[in-house]
Structure 1
Amino acid sequence: MKIVVIGGTGLIGSKLVTKLGEHGHEAVAAAPNTGVNTLTGEGLPEVLKDAAVVIDVSNSPSFEEQAVLDFFTTSTRNLIAAEKEAGVGHHVALSVVGTERPPGNAYFRAKIAQERLIAESGIPFSLVHATQFFEFVRRIADEATVDGKVRMAPVLFQPMAGDDVAQAVGRVAVGAPLNGRIEVGGPEVFRMDEFFRDALAHWNDPREVVSDPHAHYFGSEVLERSLVPDDDATRGLIRYSEWPGRDEVRK
């Protein structure tokens, strides 16, 4: 089965291409550096020819409010139009746990707009809502740093490994369309402030982690369960303490 992975040269996309190929599928990485640009439409007709499934794991290069909204709406409209022309039968998109919950932020609002376009497209679809990736814990800590201190809300946090994300998305992609969403998260639930206190200690990072109920997470405050999936969500297998990339993130 031919499966086109939009964002196929990125963190999750490259893992997907490898995993799908190992299972005998024709997995094609589609990204600007392979001649496919969803913002302009360049290369879409050619890469989608004979494709049965399209997986969109692309991401906006900017989290600025208008820029991220424009990225997801423009790229998704172009992708949907090209899929209809090519007769693609299943559109899979990776999204984020908590997009639909208050208080939200600009990125989440952009993802909601993307998901609405997909659901209204008429193409059978599946949405995979994943929690934060282990690979991004350094970026999250840096984003939360104010005056040299890492300000974290004492809320629930359930990150997962990129390999587990790719596994979950790939499994959905080769199955029947859900015409809805599933949630996936890591195998362990932490307190966000405690997780980052331990993570920074492991990195020998001297920054103090301050527990702050009003700390912002990429532009907005978060509630107790804003960032974790429901109890019936699929859970990954890789624990953060056993994740091979844990030491690399410290660099």
Structure 2
Amino acid sequence: MAELVAKNLTVSAGAKAILSDASITLRQGELVAVLGPNGAGKTTLARAMLGVEMHAGSSELDGKPVTSFSPMDRARKIAYLPQIRPLAWPAAVRDVVALGRYAHGAAIGRLKACDAEAVNRSLGACDLHPLADRATDTLSGGELARVHLARAFVAEAPLMIADEPVAALDPRHQFQAMNLLRRYVDEGNGALVILHDIALAARFAERLVWMKNGQILADGSVEETLTETRLEEVYGISARIVETEDGPAIIVRSPARQV
């Protein structure tokens, strides 16, 4: 079973700690949502877990330092969907999604049958078949976000780290994306997802990780960690949590104060 264990991660910019002494585990069978205000250190945490950005601490994948894996070996174990997703050229949607098979030895235009089938599954799951032959520079922001999500899924890695995968998506496709991540986890994989929508996180995730000022303040179940006190502590808002049949709803009583 794939497992990513990060301990005491610290990242600094000059004398300022962007991430401080953060410890977190991602394992198969869990959907973990990371929450916190802008600048809390969420993206830095994801990058440090992957070994991309780490000044102190450790991150181990299946008991070995994550930095000891070659980029291709690591990509076969952990699919990564970054917050910023530049494309070097306006390729066709199908070809961009196929890039997710690169770690399996696939090459665009020369896909093996298993790779082509994986690409078609991801296109279908992300509602992209009608756009498969479109150039990516003709897509809306939301459509492009779904392309990148499909590219992450097509890797078929046992773990995934996704940084704001529902950003720029309309409500329908936000729920579609989270349903796909939920299904991915229910099939035996593990996902860590950075989100800003607290209610969406509470509806789909097993664990919520709350961050502020580069520190993890809480890591636990929705029932344990989603409280009105926590919302004030993390976001500086006075809010009421209302339980509905579809999960918790957050009603903000007052504008955010400075945090």
Higher strand share goes to which structure?
Answer: 2
TM over 0.5: no
More contact order relative to length (CA 8 Å, sep ≥ 6): 2
Could you state the TM-score of these two structures normalised by the residue count of structure 2?
0.32
